[in-house]
Amino acid sequence: MAKEAKLRRSARLADLALRLLEEPGRTFSLGQLARTYGAAKSSLSEDLSILREVFLRAGIGTIETSPGAAGGARYVPGISRERAENFVHRLVEEVTRPERILPGGFVYLSDLLGRPDILRDVGRIVAAAFASVDVDVVLTVETKGIPIAYAASFALGKPVVIARRDGQITEGSLVTINYLSASSRSIRTMSLSRRAIAEGARVLLVDDFLRGGGTIRGMQELVREFRAEGVGAFVFVEGPAGSGRVVEDVASLVKVEEIDADARTIRAVPGSIFSRAWPSSPWGGLFQIRESEGRSPKHDLTGG
Amino acid sequence: MAKEAKLRRSARLADLALRLLEEPGRTFSLGQLARTYGAAKSSLSEDLSILREVFLRAGIGTIETSPGAAGGARYVPGISRERAENFVHRLVEEVTRPERILPGGFVYLSDLLGRPDILRDVGRIVAAAFASVDVDVVLTVETKGIPIAYAASFALGKPVVIARRDGQITEGSLVTINYLSASSRSIRTMSLSRRAIAEGARVLLVDDFLRGGGTIRGMQELVREFRAEGVGAFVFVEGPAGSGRVVEDVASLVKVEEIDADARTIRAVPGSIFSRAWPSSPWGGLFQIRESEGRSPKHDLTGG
């Protein structure tokens, strides 16, 4: 009997983990969970603290519980500082492999953007970095930003909206803006279905690569056309700033400082997401950027 | 002490669940797991059978274990028949809402393709359907097939490769093919970086919508250029066949049978993936299409 109960307990814990992981950010009522499992609320509270420790130790986020009669629990995706650092150091090594240099000073990144193991951790870093800004929807422009947008979407549990370069008939009535590409100095277009973003939505802007920042600024403008709000911007890789940027406060994972196509070398470092505030949050080792509170003490990857 | 041990056991089980879910398809050696957790192999075997039951009951796949000294365990993603049926019935209801009808007889699907909860189950269905064909890489063509490709990628743990409509300078040397769009009767182009697919790779072709099938046939042709092999094809929604298809054996999730733009009605049913073999597999309630074995008894959603 004792053994039976032990197995039941273990199975319940694993099932609870699956349930929470499946819907990041969703609050499950403690009372509902107790009924589902036919267990006492006190046992479930104990289960949830065990799971919180397991999640924190695995470095994939935490479980937040709210107390009281209407108490509940939700999975807050994130990543431990240690795991994020290890991941980005491996990524920097990957990105700087000389065979990635393409004619014209471009860097081949498509294979990295195709790998689910990489995207999973990218998503967790985005979730951790923007945990405090309460994202409703993730916006990107076709094509290469899309994998990053879905990485964020899966981690945050929030939908993706994709702006198109051309007006596609299958999208219904469109909102179209023209914007200046800051790096190529040419006029470009992005369009989005009128029904794609709700008024007042809190939008996270993402892209694969940041050069002059024209695309991010274009997305900001597009978001304003919907009377929605851009609450943060994230890119996978940030290139050399060149003649300056038209946007600030874009979080990047990797910063390419120099591409020398002749010498076939790329120099890169961890991106701006690691030089921001990395406070000791209520949930321990996870990092969190609180842009809205204006805190930005400088930390680097090795510093405090 | 008994309580302590019980808690440790529960925590180990949850941690093991995270580890297996994180890398679908990867085999973890039992010996290695035993060392990681400081537990006996026999306890771990017991843990794994508890987890297998939890996964099967949750309808998200199974855990396969291989016996012997070199024994190991891996998470095989999938979906229970019940869960797949419920999901697709909800999807059919969604797809047939009259407000989705667009001018020209198109259907607005972008919001569905943006939702991570939908894509998670789509991925599991693809994983279950193509479990036996041993996919190495998932191929799609920009733009709307990309979400479906990543859904499959996350579930299968295999990378995505995206063919482009235009030749992009950042991709290096390209393989480009021209193909005939079967529905619009126009010549179209798709390009892929020479380094994107390895010779001999087993490629799953995916897209959002199937009309005449020209795009899928184009992908098949592209794959042949790489001396790789198309091992299956999947689309989110299949449209009315119209004047016939240039491809066969494309698995679809939803089949739109008729769009009447004047009456503002759409008629749809569960797609071809549900009319294929649905054998009782070694892992119980999960379905699996074994095209390679040539088995295709007709089953529908309600039948055996």
Shared domain check, A245 and A98: yes
> Do B6 and A6 lie within an 8 Å CB cutoff?
yes
Question: In Å, how far is A295's CA from the nearest CA of chain B?
Answer: 31
Q: Which residue of B has its CA nearest to A14?
A: B14
Domain annotation covers residue A90:
yes
Chain B residues whose CB is inside 8 A of the A146 CB are 143, 146-147, 150
Q: What is the CATH number of the domain that holds B127?
A: 3.40.50.2020
pLDDT digits (tens, 9 = 90+) for A125-146: 998 888 878 899 999 999 999 9
Regions of chain B short of the pLDDT cut 70: 1-7, 69, 167-170, 242-243, 276-304
Closest approach of A149 to chain B, Cα-based (Å):
10
Nearest CA in chain A to B50: A11
If asked whether residues A191 and A222 sit together in one domain, one would say yes
Contacts of B104 in chain A (CB under 8 A): 169-170
Query: Which residues of chain A are modeled with pLDDT < 70?
Result: 1-7, 69, 167-170, 242-243, 276-304
Domain that holds residue A194: 81-293
Of the three residues A11, A43, A77, the one that is the final residue of a domain is: A77
Bridge partners for A203 per DSSP: A137, A230
Same domain? For B169 and B20 the reply is: no
Which chain B positions have a beta carbon within 8 Å of A48's beta carbon? Answer: none
Looking at A77, A99, A117, which one is the last position of a domain? A77
In chain B, how many domains are there?
2
Q: What integer pLDDT is reported at residue B105 of this predicted model? A: 74
Note whether residue B301 is domain-resident. no
Is residue A26 included in any domain, yes or no? yes
**Chain A residues close to B193, C-beta within 8 Å:** 108, 110
pLDDT at position B46: 92
B271 and B129 both lie in a single domain: yes
Domain co-membership, A33 together with A116: no
> What's the distance, Cα to Cα, between the start and end of chain A in Å?
50
Q: Say whether both A173 and A241 belong to one domain.
A: yes
Asked if residue B299 belongs to a domain, the reply is: no
Task: List A residues 56-75 in contact with B (Cβ-Cβ < 8 A).
Answer: 57-58, 60
Which chain A positions have a beta carbon within 8 Å of B7's beta carbon? 50
B18 has a chain A CB within 8 A of its CB: yes
Please judge whether A114 and B153 are an interchain contact, meaning their C-beta atoms are less than 8 angstroms apart: yes
Q: Is A42 on the interface with B (CB under 8 A)?
A: no
The pLDDT, as a whole number, for residue B181 is: 83
- Cβ separation A171–B22 shorter than 8 A: no
A119 with B154: Cβ contact below 8 A: yes
Any chain B CB within 8 A of the CB of A146? yes
A299 located within any domain: no
Which of A11, A53, A154 is nearest residue B54 as measured by Cβ atoms?
A11
Provide the CATH number for the domain around residue A22. 1.10.10.10
Please report the pLDDT score of residue A292 as a whole number.
31
Does a structural domain hold residue B300? no
The answer to the question of residue B302 being in a domain is: no
Verify that A116 and A233 share a domain, yes or no: yes
Contact: A50, B117; criterion CB under 8 Å? no
- Same domain as A173, residue A154: yes
Whether residue A304 is contained in a domain is answered as no
Residues A54 and A91 in one domain: no
Residue numbers in B near A57 (CB within 8 A):
15
Do residues B93 and B44 both lie within one domain? no
Residues A42 and A136 in one domain: no
- Based on the fold, state whether residues A117 and A41 are members of the same structural domain: no
Residue at which a domain ends, from B35, B58, B77: B77
